[in-house]
Amino acid sequence: MLTADDLERARRLVRREMGTTPQYRWPLLEEAVGGELWVKHENHTPTGAFKVRGGIVYVTRLHEAQPKVRGLITATRGNHGQSLARAATRAGLRCAVVVPTTNSPEKNAAMRAFGAELVEHGTDFDAARTHAAALAAREGLTMTPSFHRWLVLGVATYAAELFEAAGELDAVYVPIGLGSGICALMAVRDLLGYRTEIVGVVARGAPAYALSFEARRVVTTEAARTFADGMACREPDPEALAAILEGAARVVVLDEDAIAQAIRLYHTATHNLVEGAGAAPLAARLLEREHMAGKRSAVILCGGNIDMAVARTVLGGETPAPF
């Protein structure tokens, strides 16, 4: 899925618009997990999340393949939409983004600021995705999925940075939304010839990928309810799942309380305020403290775009209601 030339070209494209994000070892976090721990800070990007990398590469490659493309449309809970709107606007393209009616007001505002034409439809991501496909056909826009090879190529640049800094790790924990983050890590791991375990992380209220991993086939759920909206998927992407089945070590399922506690730990130990999906890998690493004793690991802090109301609830010691 990934060649050295593919990765180097993607890194050049990303470096034109942003610097390398840091990966730090925080002593208080290492004390909490009981071992060496690297944090990949994808909350330090121009959109506050790792998705910006995929947008840069996707729009560049699409423009090369289809010079007369009129505009793009996609569905999102926020970070993918910000990434695509930013990249499309910088390329002079129209970008429509469909979000659920329950979506984060602050992420909606950010997408508009990056140039998105926002459409609210349905109560969850999957309903928004169906509506976006219908609008694409009606308005002559190019439907941009949340999982695509070019998106994975862009996201793979963060994996390359992490392994370049930390070397071969025993395990890396990464949240699963639709799959670009975990697939990028596995692709770079394989390209480097490493044996690092890639561990997917999902919320108990949005377990579609965990159920699919266990059943070894796509399993959809009727709902995906979690305050960690970046992981709120109820219909796995078949291509992403195939890669995960082949290359992931396991998928950890988290309660909402564990995610909230990880957000609080990030704040007290590093003074980074992170979103639910960004904190989930740390929560999973804490859960596997005994299993990972004496091993070197990393967690992907995929984003910091948490709404003020949610942050207030979490930092006040409570767990937000899933939505």
pLDDT class of 125 with cuts at 50, 70, 90: confident
pLDDT exceeds 80 at position 1: no
Given a contact cutoff of 8 angstroms between Cβ atoms, the answer to whether 40 and 21 are in contact is yes
Question: What is the mean pLDDT of the segment spanning 202-206?
Answer: 98
Question: What is the mean pLDDT of the segment spanning 103-130?
Answer: 93
Question: Helix/strand/coil (H, E, C) string of 246-297?
Answer: HHCCEEEEECHHHHHHHHHHHHHHHCCCCCHHHHHHHHHHHHCCCCCCCCCE
Residues 251, 197: Cα–Cα separation, whole Å: 11
Domain at 4-50+149-315: CATH code: 3.40.50.1100
Query: Would the pTM count as exceeding 0.85?
Result: yes
In residues, how long is the chain? 323
Question: What is the mean pLDDT of the segment spanning 269-295?
Answer: 98
- pLDDT tens, position by position, 57-72: 999 999 999 999 989 9
pLDDT of residue 23: 98
Residues 219, 199: Cα–Cα separation, whole Å: 19
Domain residue extents for the chain: 4-50+149-315, 51-143
Given a contact cutoff of 8 angstroms between Cβ atoms, the answer to whether 110 and 78 are in contact is yes
Class of domain 51-143: alpha beta
Residues 94, 167: Cα–Cα separation, whole Å: 40
pLDDT of residue 18: 97
Residues with Cβ within 8 Å of residue 61, at least 6 apart in sequence:
150, 153
Q: How many CB atoms lie within 10 A of CB 15?
A: 12
pLDDT class of 162 with cuts at 50, 70, 90: very high
Question: Could you tell me whether strands 71-75 and 142-143 are parallel, antiparallel, or unpaired per DSSP bridges?
Answer: parallel
Residues 287, 253: Cα–Cα separation, whole Å: 10
- pLDDT tens, position by position, 107-116: 999 999 999 9
Helix (H) or strand (E) holding 171: strand 171-175
